Chains A and B, each alone.
Chain A
């Protein structure tokens, strides 16, 4: 018997007539349940697409405020979903790789860099959510051998060559755009910090 007709009704003959008997799972229950089963509450909210600040336009120079690269000035490439932004250093200038950052922990400046030279196909590839997913450990790293290797120094994680080429292909047109403007490269290489008497809420960026 295949699973398709497992729950189907069967036809039975009784003397001259016949009738269809529903499958026992289709029959109404004889008893009410003693306890009410809890129904999950229906959500009345829906996930709305994030509305980004107007100053966060692709090509804008941002100042990162949190995370490992706080204080760095980076270039905004694209809006991702759920309030995330795709940024790059460029890596050669200030060591910031292609990276997702939270748009809340960022100051947008009025400085703009032309990023129209970036190929849209590479940008699309790089902005997919699974691009940034951590690689899963293989079995050998998890198993018995790994247990005995715990005391040893782990090998340093290295970026894959595919990532490096992606980084280069994204950064190349940005770097040529940066070169055109005086002092822009050293500006991006420098870190942001507040100096004496500077109040961030009164400053213009």
Chain B
């Protein structure tokens, strides 16, 4: 730890904590200062995430010992390929959602900047931590912030959806705790790397307890990832949440997928003896069921926001099913799909608000809450007109972005959604001489079918939104609202153009996940900093 760059790993947790606390200290009328702090912190987080992304290329595993306790005894933060990737995705989505919110949504409620930063802190912490109980704590930070954000903007629909969302997540958190306690009772450790070494060596009598714990833990994560039949809360909640919040929520459902991917391969990979592949079949069938339920939901949704919610389900289902195949090449494709679909769904949620701005029932609520929370006795004038320039050819841009989102979500060429599905499918089918298993055919059929359903649903709602209304007025859209959507879609284009090098990175990530010995070794052999070393560095 002589290098100050080693402390980079803790920054994604500390920075939003401090920034969020700082905005909390300011009074509500200093909204502009709060926005500046929030923006600066979010940009810095993205920069740090990219720096970590660069760092893992040369140093695949960086371990940060909190409190300087060696690994199985203290809590560790671990930055590896997967964590760096998820941090960068969070940073990009966070920045896009924040920019969008700055146009006007951030004025619709109190403490939105603090909640936003705490949410980023929870997300980053969940991706970095190497300890199960610490994961629970970061989950709760993230969820508590998201409870507040879902209610942002108020209104009956949000409070009703928020009530269900909070109740189901509290119940899932209790399951999380039961699972963690069972695992601790059976294995005697909560450090993920230490668990990975103990699971294969576990006595036969203790194994059922551990497997039961892992299964209960899995249910908790499947609730967050919204696997069928634990997913009915998701479309309603995401549709009711304000658009920037929904865009950020798109990655919270991926946290569940991330944890399943990491823990399942770490604890129950091929190397873990009698417990290997625990529940793999369940994961596959739940994934397929989620995929089909999402596809039917997409076809049946009458409004755009719900369509977005069901797209999240399709994305979760595809990921769960692809992960359960437990093949490095398929996992790499699934990770590509994760990036592409998360960016697309986020852009879609932001876009929905623009496309439906003058028709949205929520617009009235927004106006009311803006009045309630807005700044009547503020020195600053309401800067409705000054925030950004209204852009010409609005409908053309919004329509183009809509087509982009549609192509991405359905997985049609030429955008990255197609590349992602192609990577999964070609890995599933294997070489010319390989025999293809029945589950691979099932997954293939479900993937292609869901793509077809998505494109039908997107075309139908696109026609209804952009062509059918005779008397529609053109919404006023500001540059600052269009820029995040364009940015997210541009990232997808970049992902398509640079697919080769991205796939190279993801291939390394997937191989590291499937052969976690390096991860386990790296965590357990990390020596604590000596006092003389600390003095030398300062």
Q: Say if A and B assemble together.
A: no
Interface residues of A (CB under 8 A from B): none
Interface residues of B (CB under 8 A from A): none
